[in-house]
Amino acid sequence: MVTKSKLKQYAKLIAKKGLNVQKGQEVEIFADLDQPEFVKMAVDECYLLGAKRVHVNWSYQPLTKSHVKYQKQKDLSEVLGWEIAKWEHMADELSCRLFILSEDPDGLSGINLSKFQASQRARKAVIKPIRERMENKHQWCIVAVPGRAWAKKVFPNDKVTVAMNKLWDAILTAARVGDDPIAAWDEHNRSLKEKCDKLNALGLTELYYRSKSSGTDFRVGLNPDVVFAAGGEVTEGKEVFFNPNMPTEEVFTSPLRGKAEGIVYASLPLSYNGQLIDKFWIRFHEGKVEDVGAEQGEDLLRELIAMDEGASYLGECAIVPYESPIRKSGILFYNTLFDENAACHLALGIGFTNLLKGYEKMTEKEAFAKGINDSIIHEDFMIGTADLSIVGTTKDGKQVEILKDGNWAI
């Protein structure tokens, strides 16, 4: 049973270790309607840390469907003055942003996809320059709570109440909400940092992925000036340490744009915009997606890589050992926050400019010119298997085994 006190511990962990809310800061929370009581707990914990104002932005997938159905594409694409003002306010204040996910992985199925994607693309392009003002400068965190439809999707053979309880359990376990979650996260952050330090000391120029069981055979170029990161991040300027994802098991970097060859096979389905893409492969040539195939959702995958020029290039390579506690739970969450931490993955779309050494003194444009990909999307997909091996090449041409039979070799 999930007790109130466990939930309170979770809410406190999110406010303290996820966002690390500072005195006098504003907090914007984005949540679905599934868990209003938990959202209130999170709000209270932010206030207890000294937040000046906490604002909750509620959403409801059936409403999104109605808007897409009834609004003209032009109206759906427009970002209104008050929305821009709100974004400007967040960028001025450097508000914390907390995303509490609970949505149904299939909750948007049946919508007019090209209309929806086109409007998203238009809206993101308008908001992008404002977003860039707060990039790397504010704390943000993505966490999850169970929604009824999501719980039924994960545990289809259970009654809703049982499924909800099981999903709460799985979420809290993955987020290390045990006896002392704060201490557990300090330890977890420390051990992830150790892996990063080892990888960064190697100065890698290439990763070679191979999995006999899936068919993955793929090389990707790295820029040794782009570091591996994991766990927590520090805001630029105010130097506030926060954990953008809870849970997180990955050690990740941004690859060198233009250098990717070969084929990768997905090892888990991808839930994208409320719809599933499953049993798919992607072939790269000169860094760019050359072809794709999928047993389910191939149209969706093709739409995804066509979102903009950068959507067909890679923005992330993440290493997650096969022994990850999330993979070991055996649960397929149909949610990237969890599933990406069950397996090694790649992401199409924008990379992480803040991983480039000296990025603080560069404009975004300069960072992109150094081979970090730019796009309006960033979409993870999982390729890790029990027999995945990753061999790195260092800048002086040495080969280093990084992952062997799915697990860390360094």
Residue-level length of the chain: 410
Looking at beta carbons only, is 287 or 349 nearer to Zn ion?
349
Span near Zn ion by CB under 5 A; candidates 82-90, 244-252, 287-295, 367-375: 244-252
**Shortest Å distance, C-beta 317 to Zn ion:** 9
DSSP 176-222: T-SS-HHHHHHHHHHHHHHHHHHHHHH-EEEEEEE-TTT--EEEEE-
Give the nearer residue to Zn ion in terms of CB position, either 25 or 216: 216
Residue closer to Zn ion (CB basis): 340 or 379: 340
Quick one: which segment of 189-197, 242-250, 289-297, 298-306 binds Zn ion (CB under 5 A)? 242-250
Closer residue to Zn ion in complex, CB, 260/318? 318
CB-nearest residue to Zn ion: 318
Residues in Cβ contact with 177 at an 8 Å cutoff, skipping those fewer than 6 apart: 6, 9, 10, 13
Residue 250 near residue 318 (C-beta atoms within 8 A): yes
In the 8-state DSSP scheme, what is residue 22?
P
As a whole number of angstroms, the distance between CA 67 and CA 69 comes to 5
Q: Which is nearer to Zn ion, 51 or 318 (CB)?
A: 318
Min dist. Cβ of residue 276 to Zn ion (A): 19
Between 47 and 408, name the residue whose CB sits nearer to Zn ion. Answer: 408
- 1-9, 125-133, 243-251, 351-359 -> range binding Zn ion (CB under 5 A): 243-251
Q: Which of residues 246-265 bind Zn ion (CB under 5 A)?
A: 250, 252
- CB 246, CB 175: distance < 8 Å: yes
| 8 Å CB contact between 400 and 410 | yes
Q: How far is the CB of 78 from Zn ion (least distance, A)?
A: 32
Q: Measured between alpha carbons, how far apart are the two ends of the chain, in Å?
A: 39
Binding to Zn ion (CB under 5 A) within 193-222 occurs at none
Among 167, 317, 318, 382, binds Zn ion (CB under 5 A): 318
The least distance separating Zn ion from the CB of residue 205, rounded to whole angstroms, comes to: 21
Quote the least distance from Cβ 53 to Zn ion, whole Å: 31
| Binding segment (CB under 5 A) for Zn ion, from list 61-69, 245-253, 258-266, 271-279 | 245-253
Q: Which residues inside 334-353 make contact with Zn ion, applying CB under 5 A?
A: 340
C-beta separation of 313 from 339 below 8 A = no
What are the phi and psi torsion angles at 290 (to 5°)? Answer: -100, -35
Q: Is the C-alpha dihedral spanning 277, 278, 284, 290 positive or negative?
A: negative
**For Zn ion, which is the closer residue by CB, 250 or 374?**
250
Q: Is 340 helix (H, G, I), strand (E, B) or coil?
A: coil
Give me the least distance between CB of 384 and Zn ion, in Å please.
Answer: 11
| Closer residue to Zn ion (CB): 94 or 256 | 256
326 binds Zn ion, rule: CB under 5 A = no
CA-CA-CA-CA torsion sign (156, 341, 143, 317) = negative
Identify residues 4-63 at the interface with Zn ion (CB under 5 A). Answer: none
User: Across the beta sheet with 378-382, what order do the strands follow?
Assistant: 229-230, 251-253, 314-319, 345-349, 378-382
**Encoded tokens for 25:** 């800061």
Size of the site for Zn ion (CB under 5 A): 4
**CB-wise, 168 or 228, nearer to Zn ion?**
228
CA–CA distance, 43 with 29 (Å, rounded to integer): 8
Residues making contact with Zn ion (CB under 5 A): 250, 252, 318, 340
